[in-house]
Structure 1
Amino acid sequence: MLRRAHPRLLLPVLAIVLIGAVAGCSLFDREPRGTPATQAPAPAGAGAQLEIPTTVAAGEVSLLQRLGADGPLRTLSVERDGAWQCVDCAGDGVTSRGTLAPELTERLQVLLADPALANETDQARRYRTTCIDALTSSLLTSTGLITSQDCPGEERTPVAGEILLLLTQATPAEVKG
């Protein structure tokens, strides 16, 4: 007999399955190394299209954030040269662009190249979301997906935590609930 899943776990599980499915499909449509990140369009409401990254090249990173189950999805993509684009940064539908300062770009590249990052992926940690209505942040790196939530008792990943802090402090991102 099947047991009914806990509703609070359904959305994070569905999000992970969706990201996994989209990433799996992208395995068959890969561009040669050194090309920009592959992106798949996804609906953003009112007929708009939101570019959600499914893979990134070495030295690139994408951040997906959502506050609770119904909050807007914030998407930040950073290229190897520090150029960034943030879609719906403040939940207002606005797309912002800029470039990280050279010292931040260099620091980001050092963090993304850190071998310890591979041990912080969701797969390596067997990560599962546990909080309701928390800010969920997912970093998409060339080593894999790294998810964290702002909730009591959650262990912080050292390298990915530093990347997350760098990205949120260096861009005009502000998630509003």
Structure 2
Amino acid sequence: MLPRAHPRLLVPLLALALVGALTGCSLFDRDKPGTPQAQPSGGAVGGQPQLEIPATVAAGQVSLIQRLGEDGPLRTLSVERNGAWQCNDCAGDGVTSRGTLAPELTERLQVLLANPALADETDQARRYRTTCIDALTSSLITSTGLITSQDCPGEERTPVAGEILLLLTQATPAEVQG
């Protein structure tokens, strides 16, 4: 019998896998010559500050990471329990936007994030694999786990996470998923 993984380690490992999937780099290709190497979080590459991707979030918080195709800019949106949000590069112009969700949206978001069905929609529970090329990939990081979806034909929508994604994209500058 294999030892059971610690749940606290699961979210950072899933976030690391997401970063690899979104950048198009495999964790197993690092030793090959010419393979791009990941830069440490918060550093600078070519004078540009590196984007910090949250590995975990607390209950009631959510982060959305989006990328169009393998070469598109990486957009991140983080929403606090009180509805305050910050979006990095949402318009693709490198600008950080901030705001606060309306009270009724904040309340609706909290209800959705507390829904027990969300646990069945995580990438791990669904054994999710990205399948489309050049599609908009949206990943929600919740306290329950990572939930990824792609805007491509035949992609099955997760009910609770899909509603969270729609709420976030309609209430902030994050891109709407088709």
Query: TM-score when scaled to structure 2?
Result: 0.75
Q: Tell me which residue corresponds to 1:122.
A: 123
Query: In the TM superposition, what whole-angstrom CA distance separates every residue of 1:107-151 from its partner, at most 9, and x where no partner exists?
Result: 000000000000000000000000000000000000000000000
3-state secondary structure, aligned to 2:48: coil
Q: Tell me which residue corresponds to 1:14.
A: 20
- Rounded to whole Å, the distance in 1 between the matches of 2:165 and 2:174 is 11
Query: Any residues of structure 2 matched to 1:81-92 within 5 Å, and which?
Result: 81-92=82-93
1:136–1:147 CA contact under 8 A, matched in 2: yes
Whichever residue aligns with residue 14 of structure 1, its letter is G
Q: Tell me which residue corresponds to 1:172.
A: 173
1:71 is aligned to 2:72: yes
Q: Tell me which residue corresponds to 2:154.
A: 153
Query: Any residues of structure 2 matched to 1:26-175 within 5 Å, and which?
Result: 41=42, 46-174=47-175
Summarize the Cα distance change of 1:171–1:142 in structure 2 as closer, same or farther, 3 Å threshold.
same
Summarize the Cα distance change of 1:81–1:45 in structure 2 as closer, same or farther, 3 Å threshold.
farther
3-state secondary structure, aligned to 1:84: strand
3-state secondary structure, aligned to 1:138: strand
Whichever residue aligns with residue 146 of structure 1, its letter is I
- Rounded to whole Å, the distance in 1 between the matches of 2:91 and 2:45 is 14
1:41–1:52 CA contact under 8 A, matched in 2: no
2:86–2:97 CA contact under 8 A, matched in 1: yes
- Rounded to whole Å, the distance in 1 between the matches of 2:149 and 2:43 is 22
Whichever residue aligns with residue 80 of structure 1, its letter is R
3-state secondary structure, aligned to 2:154: coil
**Percent of pairs with identical residues:** 83
Q: Tell me which residue corresponds to 1:34.
A: none
- Rounded to whole Å, the distance in 2 between the matches of 1:53 and 1:13 is 10
Query: TM-score when scaled to structure 1?
Result: 0.75
Which structure: greater strand fraction?
1
Query: In the TM superposition, what whole-angstrom CA distance separates every residue of 1:52-100 from its partner, at most 9, and x where no partner exists?
Result: 1110000000000000000000000000000000000011100000000
- Rounded to whole Å, the distance in 1 between the matches of 2:173 and 2:19 is 29
2:22–2:67 CA contact under 8 A, matched in 1: no
RMSD: 2.4
The answer for unaligned runs of 5 or more in structure 2 is 1-16, 28-40
Between 1:47-56 and 1:103-112, the stretch displaced more is: 47-56
- Rounded to whole Å, the distance in 2 between the matches of 1:44 and 1:120 is 35
- Rounded to whole Å, the distance in 1 between the matches of 2:54 and 2:106 is 20
- Rounded to whole Å, the distance in 2 between the matches of 1:13 and 1:49 is 13
How far apart are residue 17 of structure 1 and its match?
A: 10
Runs of 4+ in structure 1 off by over 4 angstroms are 42-45
Summarize the Cα distance change of 1:48–1:144 in structure 2 as closer, same or farther, 3 Å threshold.
same
Summarize the Cα distance change of 1:155–1:45 in structure 2 as closer, same or farther, 3 Å threshold.
farther
